[in-house]
Amino acid sequence: MKTYEYAEDPNPEARSHPWVDAVGNPNARYYDLKRQPERIRSSLEDFRPWQRYAAVEDFYQLLERINHPKSALESNDCAFIGAEQNEDGSVQKALQCSGRLMVLFRTLTRNTAGSDIERLKDQLHVELAELDPEFDAGVVGTNIVPVRYLELPEADGQQLGTQLMICFWSWGDSEAETMLNLARLMKNLSRALRRVSARAAA
């Protein structure tokens, strides 16, 4: 399937891990889904209104795999905007939905060595490129963003690192079609992340 990489922000502001609340939404909170996997289906406020669609359950299962005790990765943040008017003139569909998922290595020091996150990003693109080549109603984009890892020692910049931001879009001419295409995208993304996580743990 189709993927691309974002251009980096020349003046990025470092996120925190763990974070406390979101600037744009004071009701949003960080949950450690490794320790509280039950929160996946109860606390992701952006996804709850769309739970009637299989794509959301696919996303929940993706989060369960990423945050599973045997996974080398974990998630930090996610967001979702359900089916709305498509503003991308290059895609001839009436509606789109979009979202993001932040992914990092569970061993926090691996996120402070830039090469590990770069390798994770590259491997994800390779895996996705090999999946579902005829699918053109969805796309995945990636960007590497700066993070301050608050659980690491503060001295000598040891907290400064990065994580992988995975953004996704799907399109359709109806709400049902848009969410069906999202489900297809989620299955591809889940397969790709499962493979890169297994490689990272080796």
Which tens digit of pLDDT belongs to each residue from 65-110?
Answer: 999 999 999 998 899 999 999 998 899 999 999 999 999 999 999 9
> How many residues can be counted in the chain?
202
Q: Give me the pLDDT at residue 18, please.
A: 86
Model pLDDT, residue 201 = 80
Q: How far apart are CA 62 and CA 44, in angstroms?
A: 14
Distance CA 75, CA 78 (A): 8
Beta pairing class for 138-149 and 15-17: parallel
State how far the alpha carbon of 116 is from the alpha carbons of 12, 18, 156, in Å: 20, 20, 20
- CA 27 to chain centroid, in Å, comes to 20
Is 147 a residue whose pLDDT tops 90? yes
Read off the pLDDT band of 114 (50, 70, 90).
confident
3-state secondary structure of 67: coil
Whether residue 1 contacts residue 188, with contact meaning beta carbons closer than 8 Å, is answered with yes
What's the rounded mean pLDDT across residues 128-139? 96
Report how far residue 147's alpha carbon sits from residue 162's, in angstroms, rounded to the nearest whole number.
Answer: 5
Beta bridge partners of 85: 95
Query: Which amino acid appears at position 108 of this protein?
Result: L
List, in order, residues 6 or more apart from 198 with CB less than 8 Å away. 72
pTM of the shown model: 0.92
Instruction: Read off the DSSP letter of residue 29.
Output: B
